Chain A
Amino acid sequence: MTEELIIAGFGGQGVLSMGKILAYSGIMQDQEVSWMPSYGPEMRGGTANVTVIISDDRISSPILTQFDTAVILNQQSMDKFEETVKPGGVLLYDPNGILKHPTRKDINIFKVEGAKIAAEMGNAKIFNMIVLGAYLKAKPIVKLENVIEGLKKSLPERYHKLIPLNEEAIKRGMNELVEIS
């Protein structure tokens, strides 16, 4: 199994930390992982993206141009990454703020109302965990128990009291995944 994933959105949406938690989850089930962020002046307020690879085998290039899955969280990222999904691959997006919806017919398109649900749950910071849940429903590459272990690893201990809230958000995201095509 190899999953080549890009997560792309605005800086501040938790794109990089969602990738990090996924990578840790992969480690928890003895897989190889890589996490390669975009970095630079674009990070504050602008777009941020991270390439995450989880594989049973040694990972060659951490830099990719085509992906099994794209998780897209703003319009700029939709413009840039819709075309990078491999035929037969998965595109998951949050329609909040998206004006031009994906049009490809050769990929599986899903959506999750991450921003809306986060607002309902009263905490904007769990947005990325809702999206992570939806992603894991579409692509169950890591087990939920390993994601929780991954969360424990990637969060400083003083935030461990927030793990139940994060778990709730992941489960909510799993339930709110909508298949479009």
Chain B
Amino acid sequence: MAEIKLMKGNEAVAEAAIRAGCDAYFGYPITPQSEVIEYLMMERPEDRTGMVVLQAESEIAAIHMVYGAAAAGKMAMTSSSSPGISLKEEGISYMAGSELPAVIVNVVRGGPGLGTIQPSQADYFQTTKGGGHGDYRLLVLAPASVQESADFVADAFRLAFKYRNPVMILSDGVIGQMMEKVIMPEQTPRLTDQEIIEKYGDWATTGKPDDKERNIITSLELDPYKQELHNIKLQAKYTQMQEEEVRYEMINCEDADYILVAYGSSARISQKAMDLARAKGIKVGIFRLITLFPFPSEQLNDLAGRVKGFLAVEMSAGQMIEDVKLAIEGKTKAVHFGRYGGVIHSPEEILEALEQKLIGG
């Protein structure tokens, strides 16, 4: 039987990266994410799998090192927290434009600006609606436990290479800092250049072969008509993500009158609020987003036809609520509740918001 460990979410991400066969990690420390790079430095994965771990001189350098490694067809990742992710956005946009796979972890803290080091979910807009410039999307996975923090790393790499697009794991200060039981996946060997080509196609810049032209990785195309064609191709990938990659979890939704919509740590806290509500006889269910993009619009729309309302619970002033409202097309009521700026809402506050803003409002 696999060994059960007690780990922080951040440590689980780091160990899972080694085990996913990641080739290279480039990062820069920032609270509440620093355990990712600390763990990797302590663990010395170069001795275990040959994986490169490097502390760059800045977040910007780190993301462009990821760009370079990804352009060579390697499984590369970086991690940071909100202000550091803002610095990386230029590189992320370039990778989306250049169609490069990469895994980026954001352990979100309160903002804007340097903000606070306490947990937050206020980077939802940045993560799902751009962040960098141009018409692009990230595929976004939001873990709600230490186990998912581990499991989503290999998933993220698989999806990144499937779509040749950056994938973001959107964690937060709670999920990153808390310890829970975790069972680590088995070690996957790192892929050779040849195995990458066989598995994901011959697109990387691994040298000019004799029998064909060299591959070029770039996000630059000065001819607007060609750039439009490139954009259409990118959009087709995002449409395919919407068709194939939507992930969510429904808890007690079958008989529910009211649904708490949440992701990450808010989904965990909402579960306690759900228990408190059910103890009072209010039939509450949870709709937990696992992918933030693609957004489970159809599933929420289906639910909207048979419930009395949605409470979008997020540690922000109201970001995910916009996508919830778009999804349910006004079929029923949807209101937002959340503490923000680094403050974590309690289960009791969520219950109070449910009773006053949704049921009584």
Question: A residues within 8 Å of B by Cβ?
Answer: 20, 23-24, 27, 32-37, 39-41, 59-65, 153-154
Interface string of B259-275 (1 = CB under 8 A from A): 00000010011111111
Q: Which residues of A contact B177 (CB under 8 A)?
A: 36-37, 39
Given A39-B31, A61-B268, A61-B271, CB of A23 within 8 Å of CB of B179: yes
Cα–Cα distance between A24 and B38 once the two chains are bound (Å) = 22
Whether the pair A65, B268 counts as a contact (CB closer than 8 A) is: no
- Write the nearest CB–CB distance from A166 to chain B, whole angstroms: 17
- Write the nearest CB–CB distance from A86 to chain B, whole angstroms: 12
Cα–Cα distance between A62 and B287 once the two chains are bound (Å) = 18
**Which of B4, B6, B31, B273 has its CB near the most chain A CB atoms (within 10 A)?**
B6
Cα–Cα distance between A35 and B5 once the two chains are bound (Å) = 13
Which A residue's beta carbon lies closest to that of B109?
A: A40
Cα–Cα distance between A124 and B247 once the two chains are bound (Å) = 50
Whether the pair B181, A65 counts as a contact (CB closer than 8 A) is: no
Whether the pair A61, B180 counts as a contact (CB closer than 8 A) is: no
- Write the nearest CB–CB distance from A124 to chain B, whole angstroms: 25
**CB neighbors of A among B306-352 (8 A):** 344, 346-348
Cα–Cα distance between A64 and B269 once the two chains are bound (Å) = 8
Whether the pair A39, B174 counts as a contact (CB closer than 8 A) is: no
Q: At the interface, is chain A mostly helix, strand, loop or mixed?
A: mixed
Which B residue's beta carbon lies closest to that of A34?
A: B180
Given A24-B6, A60-B271, CB of A40 within 8 Å of CB of B118: yes
Cα–Cα distance between A132 and B118 once the two chains are bound (Å) = 28
Question: B residues within 8 Å of A by Cβ?
Answer: 4, 6, 31-32, 117-118, 173-174, 177-181, 265, 268-275, 344, 346-348
Q: Which residues of B contact A34 (CB under 8 A)?
A: 178-180
Contact pick for B268, options A35, A60, A153, CB 8 Å:
A60
**Which of B117, B118, B177, B180 has its CB near the most chain A CB atoms (within 10 A)?**
B180
Cα–Cα distance between A36 and B348 once the two chains are bound (Å) = 18
Cα–Cα distance between A39 and B81 once the two chains are bound (Å) = 15
Cα–Cα distance between A32 and B270 once the two chains are bound (Å) = 18
Whether the pair B181, A33 counts as a contact (CB closer than 8 A) is: yes
Q: Which residues of B contact A153 (CB under 8 A)?
A: 6
Given A40-B31, A63-B269, CB of A27 within 8 Å of CB of B174: no
Can you offer 9 A-B residue contacts whose CB atoms are under 8 A? A23-B179, A32-B181, A33-B6, A36-B174, A39-B31, A60-B347, A61-B270, A63-B347, A64-B347
Whether the pair B31, A64 counts as a contact (CB closer than 8 A) is: no
Whether the pair B6, A154 counts as a contact (CB closer than 8 A) is: yes
